[in-house]
Amino acid sequence: MSKQEFTLTVYTENQIGLLNRIAIIFSRRKININSLNTSPSEVPGIHRFNIVIDEVEEVVKKLARQIEKQVDVLKAYYNTNDEIVWQEMALYKMPTDAVTEKVKVERLLHEFGARAIAIRKDYIVFETTGHREETDKLISFLEPFGLIEFVRSARVAIIKDSQGFHSKVKEFERREPGEEVIENEFLDKQEEVFSM
């Protein structure tokens, strides 16, 4: 069995420290995380992780079970690239002069599906979403014209085969509402508190 790209989708409670608990399942086995996205799901109180790794399926299966075993994890799935639809967003900051004088902006906009999201006197920020290869291609296109800054988001992925988790997660939250996260409310009150 050879390594290939897998995307793990993990539904969790909104708990402080859970990101670390999940991340160390990978680092303990010296597995690199290629991309990690964690954000609130469509249902308040439930978070969704997308984790991308290169591994053999046998290992990924075990990783998913270890993740799902964590008390605050609701469910963990793993999928190959064929089984998901995914996107990554990328931002490119370019010098305005170069763009207006040298770059064929039209080509940029059409061929790469890019759009300008900020236009200033000194720079323009373009945005595009797509697969890794597509965003990479735009980097190499822009680089000769003086790319100032680049950033790419983590992968977000939707599982093709699913019946849709929306209703399930929604129903779940309705039946058993999640607990509210209590954050450390005293952290910035040092001045007001005398302790020693």
The footprint of other proteins on this chain (CB under 8 A) covers a number of residues equal to 35
Q: Choose, by CB under 8 A, the member of 1, 2, 20, 174 that binds other proteins.
A: 20
Q: Is 190 in the site for other proteins (CB under 8 A)?
A: yes
- The span from the CA of 96 to the CA of 177, in Å, is 50
Only one residue has tokens 């607990």, namely: 179
Least distance CB 27 / other proteins (angstroms)? 9
- Residue closer to other proteins by CB (options 64, 94) is 64
Least distance CB 112 / other proteins (angstroms)? 41
Q: Choose, by CB under 8 A, the member of 82, 122, 161, 193 that binds other proteins.
A: 193
Q: Which residues contact 27 (CB under 8 A, 6 or more apart)?
A: none
Q: Is 117 in the site for other proteins (CB under 8 A)?
A: no
> Which of 186, 171, 184, 169 has the alpha carbon at shortest distance from 11?
169
Query: What residues between 66 and 85 interact with other proteins by CB under 8 A?
Result: 66, 68-69, 71-74
Q: Is 30 in the site for other proteins (CB under 8 A)?
A: no
Q: Choose, by CB under 8 A, the member of 1, 2, 28, 161 that binds other proteins.
A: 28
Least distance CB 11 / other proteins (angstroms)? 8
Q: Choose, by CB under 8 A, the member of 5, 13, 57, 127 that binds other proteins.
A: 13
Instruction: Judge contact between 52 and 34, C-beta under 8 A.
Output: yes
Fill in the per-residue mask, 151 to 180: x = in contact with other proteins (CB under 8 A), - = not in contact. ---------------------x---x-xx-
Least distance CB 126 / other proteins (angstroms)? 38
Q: Choose, by CB under 8 A, the member of 5, 21, 95, 159 that binds other proteins.
A: 21
